[in-house]
């Protein structure tokens, strides 16, 4: 237990989540330390922090996954705590033990809780032991191809291969027949090893057209456990969430009571503390099955914050300080409807392949009920080294219809030039009649979408962007030479840097 107030936090992450954590710290009067790779030296989170330290070269293995270096910086900067954000080392129990062994607070669950709940097979085993339904499949990783064939034959195809050591769709494969199993297993193991350093794979029955619904929980070391309602995350592409919303349109009060009670029972049984998310699959008859637990802050946490008015990161810090939660379950007020779109740098016309390049122009939407979490700015580069997430755009409305309309309007006013992106896809989803009706599942895009359905970019916008880019590039040599050794104006500096 950390009995004194935390004064300085090292944020062991980058981009929008690092910046989001730092903003809460600043509001709370807590100093922040940024870490960065060589390619991130001018990133927003580096500029925002009170201190910043170089980790290493661009590859994550040499920077954001370099646990000894992060710990070295934490000690040198006299940081009281480390916040891992999501991804990278956030669910690595060995990193937690290393941090705590050096007298530094890890703002997240204990190493033992991560091993128990972050490990997918261990979590399934625990859920099953206390009577929470789980998807049929293994509770231990498969040890060989022969065992995989045996298990798949028992639970019947199609089956789903999943990484035991992490989530986010990494290592996940749908297998429809035994002839596909060998190559799918090899591919899953390879991807899981690359993403998590852990190639263990387990198998579960593939549920056709499921809905993906999760419960946000907070728990402290004093036994306080609360939930902040559910989020629907069924709109996915390649097992990666794109749209999240709260509440789910299919959850009534009775069903909500069942899944939130199951989530809280699982958290209590595991001894888990801090923020976490219990994920469930729902079949077409609204039967639910425990899927997994994310033992960290979720990417989509803004959806919940906008609806309940609770700063989840602030509560994480309180828990890290050894204090009780600032509220009880009866204090939570659920208000209206919230939706989030993940804005990715990806090319819709090239099978949504990640798009790299410089962001030449960026115009964000604003107004009542609109929130944007972003870690990049104009003139920043999107590279192949990290996740292509550009921003998270979230809106609030008094009901789902208003939230959908607000999101569609916000997407209309969002402009990104220089990289391909999925803004048009998000807009198409908001306007899709099936989505509006709420009749969605994890196969929504594969069943409803094709490239020809994307709204075209207006020709005048394309022409204006192209002409502006050409003109500015033509002006760049003049901007660079006109100074003749004299200090450049701020406008000239901006334009020169813009196209460098």
Residue 244's contacts (CB-CB under 8 Å, 6 or more residues apart) are 231, 232, 233, 235, 300, 303, 339, 340, 342
The tens digit of pLDDT for each residue in 97-123 reads 999 999 999 999 999 999 999 888 889
The tens digit of pLDDT for each residue in 371-406 reads 999 999 999 999 999 999 999 999 999 999 999 999
Q: Centre a 10 Å sphere on the Cβ of residue 190 and count the other Cβ atoms it contains.
A: 12
Interstrand relation of 105-106 and 81-83 (parallel, antiparallel or unpaired) = parallel
- Where residue 438 sits, what CATH number does that domain have? 3.30.470.20
Structure tokens at 472: 């500015």
CA dihedral 437, 442, 448, 452 (to 10 degrees): 120
Instruction: Please give the average per-residue pLDDT across 421-446, as a whole number.
Output: 96
Please check whether residue 328 lies inside any domain of the structure. yes
pLDDT at 488 > cutoff 80: no
Give the residue from 25, 35, 19, 22 showing the smallest Cα distance to 74.
35
With residue 358 as reference, give the H or E element that holds it: strand 357-358
294 plus 390 within the same structural domain? yes
Which one from 20, 124, 296, 374 is the annotated catalytic residue? 296
251 plus 368 within the same structural domain? yes
446 plus 483 within the same structural domain? no
296 noted as active-site residue:
yes
What is d(CA 85, CA 296) in angstroms, rounded to the nearest whole number? 7
pLDDT at 207 > cutoff 60: yes
**Surface-to-core class of residue 271, CB atoms within 10 Å of its CB (0-12 exposed, 13-18 middle, 19+ buried):** middle
311 plus 404 within the same structural domain? yes
62 plus 182 within the same structural domain? no
Please check whether residue 303 lies inside any domain of the structure. yes
426 plus 472 within the same structural domain? no
User: What confidence category does residue 491 fall into, taking pLDDT thresholds of 50, 70 and 90?
Assistant: very low
What is the total count of domains within the chain? 4
CB 139 within 8 A of CB 128: yes
With residue 389 as reference, give the H or E element that holds it: strand 389-397
pLDDT at 298 > cutoff 60: yes
Residues 218-227 as b or e (16 or more Cβ within 10 Å = b)? bbbbeebbbb
42 plus 103 within the same structural domain? yes
pLDDT at 485 > cutoff 80: no
Please check whether residue 131 lies inside any domain of the structure. no
Range of the domain at 490: 461-498
Whole-number average pLDDT of the chain:
91
Q: What percent of the chain has pLDDT over 70?
A: 90
Output the pTM of the full model: 0.86
155 plus 283 within the same structural domain? no
Please check whether residue 1 lies inside any domain of the structure. no
The tens digit of pLDDT for each residue in 302-336 reads 999 999 999 999 999 999 999 999 999 999 999 99
Tell which of 205, 229, 260 closes a domain. 205
What pLDDT was estimated at residue 496?
Answer: 37
37 plus 142 within the same structural domain? no
472 plus 439 within the same structural domain? no
Please check whether residue 114 lies inside any domain of the structure. no
Tell which of 63, 88, 107 closes a domain. 107
Q: What is the DSSP letter of 118?
A: I
- Where residue 18 sits, what CATH number does that domain have? 3.40.50.20
- Where residue 195 sits, what CATH number does that domain have? 3.30.1490.20
What pLDDT was estimated at residue 493?
Answer: 42
The tens digit of pLDDT for each residue in 210-239 reads 999 999 999 999 999 999 999 999 999 988
Signed CA dihedral, 408, 409, 412, 413: sign only: negative
- Give, in order, the Cα–Cα distances in Å from 147 to each of 4, 150, 182, 193, 246: 51, 5, 11, 20, 40
Please check whether residue 129 lies inside any domain of the structure. no
Give the residue from 425, 414, 306 showing the smallest Cα distance to 361.
414
Signed CA dihedral, 332, 405, 313, 196: sign only: positive
269 plus 418 within the same structural domain? yes
428 plus 318 within the same structural domain? yes
Q: Which of 12-16, 152-156, 290-294, 476-480 has the highest mean pLDDT?
A: 12-16
Please check whether residue 122 lies inside any domain of the structure. no
Phi, then psi, of 43 in degrees rounded to 5: -70, 160
Tell which of 107, 126, 144 closes a domain. 107
What is d(CA 389, CA 232) in angstroms, rounded to the nearest whole number? 20
What is d(CA 383, CA 214) in angstroms, rounded to the nearest whole number? 31
Please check whether residue 350 lies inside any domain of the structure. yes
């Amino acid at each position: 237990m950390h009995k004194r107030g935390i004064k300085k936090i090292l944020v062991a992450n980058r981009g929008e989540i690092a910046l989001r954590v730092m903003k809460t710290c600043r509001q709370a009067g807590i100093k922040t330390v940024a870490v960065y790779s060589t390619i991130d030296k001018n990133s927003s989170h580096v500029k925002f922090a009170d201190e910043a330290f170089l980790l290493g070269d661009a590859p994550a293995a040499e920077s954001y996954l370099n646990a000894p270096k992060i710990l070295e910086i934490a000690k040198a900067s006299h940081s009281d705590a480390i916040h891992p954000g999501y991804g990278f080392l956030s669910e690595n129990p060995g990193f937690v033990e290393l941090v705590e062994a050096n007298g530094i607070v890890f703002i997240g669950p204990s190493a033992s809780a991560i091993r128990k709940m972050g490990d997918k097979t261990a979590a399934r085993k625990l859920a099953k032991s206390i009577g929470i339904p789980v998807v049929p499949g293994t509770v231990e990783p498969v040890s060989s191809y022969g065992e995989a064939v045996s298990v798949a034959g028992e639970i019947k195809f199609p089956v789903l291969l999943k990484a035991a050591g992490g989530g986010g769709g990494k290592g996940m494969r749908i297998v429809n027949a035994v002839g596909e199993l060998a190559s799918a297993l090899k591919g899953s193991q390879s991807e899981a090893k690359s993403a998590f350093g852990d190639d263990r794979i387990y198998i579960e029955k593939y549920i056709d057209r499921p809905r993906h619904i999760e419960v946000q929980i907070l728990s402290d070391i004093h036994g306080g456990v609360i939930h902040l309602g559910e989020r629907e995350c069924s709109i996915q592409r390649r097992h990666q969430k794109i749209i999240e919303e709260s509440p789910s349109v299919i959850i009534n009060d009775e069903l909500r009571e069942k899944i939130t009670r199951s989530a809280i029972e699982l958290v209590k049984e595991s001894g888990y503390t801090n923020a976490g998310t219990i994920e469930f699959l729902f079949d077409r008859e609204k039967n639910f099955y425990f899927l997994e637990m994310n033992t960290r802050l979720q990417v989509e946490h803004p959806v919940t914050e906008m609806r309940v008015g609770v700063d989840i990161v602030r509560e994480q810090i309180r828990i890290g300080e050894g204090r009780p939660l600032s509220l009880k379950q009866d204090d939570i007020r659920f208000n209206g409807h919230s939706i989030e779109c993940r804005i990715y740098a990806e090319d819709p016309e090239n099978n949504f392949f990640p798009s790299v390049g410089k962001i030449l122009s960026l115009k964000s939407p604003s107004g009542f009920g609109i929130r944007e979490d972003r870690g990049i700015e104009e003139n920043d580069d999107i590279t192949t080294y990290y996740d292509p997430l550009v921003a998270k755009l979230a809106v609030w409305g008094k009901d789902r219809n208003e939230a959908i309309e607000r999101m569609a309007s916000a997407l209309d006013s969002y402009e990104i030039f220089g990289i391909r992106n999925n803004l048009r896809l998000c807009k198409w989803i908001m306007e899709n009649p099936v989505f509006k009706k709420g009749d969605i599942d994890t196969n929504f895009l594969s069943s409803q979408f094709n490239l020809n359905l994307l709204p075209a970019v207006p020709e005048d916008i394309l022409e204006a962007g192209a002409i502006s880019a050409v003109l500015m590039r033509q002006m760049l040599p003049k901007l660079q030479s006109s100074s003749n050794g004299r200090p450049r104006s701020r406008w000239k500096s901006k334009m020169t840097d813009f196209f460098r």
